[in-house]
A = this chain, B = another copy of it.
Amino acid sequence: MDREATRPGGDKRPDTPPPAGRPGPGGGAAFLLAQLGAHAAERFAQRIAELDLTPAQAGLLRLLVQNPGRSQRELADALGMPPSRFVPFADGLEQRGLIERRRNAEDRRLYALHLTDQGLALLGRLRDTALAHEQDVTQSLTPEEHAQLTALLTRIAAQQQLTPGVHPGYRTLRGR
C-alpha cells in the first residue's frame, strides 16, 4: 500500500521541524534485531502451525528430547511460564499422545515427563521445518555471511547471558 498517495489532508503546516538528516533509531542493530526477531518468530509460528504446534510446544518437545524425565515445575521454569499454566499446556500434548506423564517412584509428588515415539517422530518433522525456516531467513546471504552472522549473534547472546535454546516467546501460549 502506498501511504503517501492516500494521505487526505494534514501536512499543510509542518509545525514540528523536520528531523534533520537521519531519523536516529530504526536503522540501528538493536532495532533491526527486535524487528527481524519478531518477524522470524512470526514466520516460524506460521510454519509449525502446519504441524499443529505452537512455539512453546515446540520448545517443550526440544527440552524433553535433550533430557527426558524432568518434572513439570522444572520444565515450566525453563519455559518461563507459571506452573498453573503448564498443566493445561502439558494436557494438550499428552492427549495428542506426544508426551507421557510417569509417576516418580521415589517422590510420588513428581511427574517425570517423557517424549513418546509419536512425539519423537513429530520432532523429526519439526527439525525439517526449522531447517527450511533457517534457509528462508538467510536466503539473501552467502554461506560465508551466514556463518558470520551466526557467529556474531552467538557472541551477543553469550554476552547478554541468554540460555541457549530457550527464548522469551515461549512464555506465551498463543499460536501467533
B35-A36 in contact (CB<8A): no
Of chain B, the residue at the smallest CB distance from A78 is B3
Total chain A interface residues with beta-carbon distance under 8 A? 88
Q: Is A159 on the interface with B (CB-CB < 8 A)?
A: yes
The complex places the Cα of A97 from the Cα of B100 at a distance, in Å, of 56
Instruction: Taking A138-B156, A140-B155 as given, write out 16 further A-B residue pairs in contact, using a Cβ cutoff of 8 Å, ordered by the A residue number.
Output: A3-B78, A8-B106, A8-B110, A10-B69, A15-B114, A25-B165, A26-B62, A29-B134, A30-B136, A32-B157, A34-B44, A35-B37, A37-B38, A37-B40, A140-B158, A145-B152
Interface residues of A (CB under 8 A from B): 1, 3, 6-16, 19, 23-42, 44, 62, 64-71, 74, 77-78, 104-107, 110, 112, 114-115, 120, 127, 130-131, 133-134, 136-141, 145-146, 148-150, 152-160, 162, 164-169
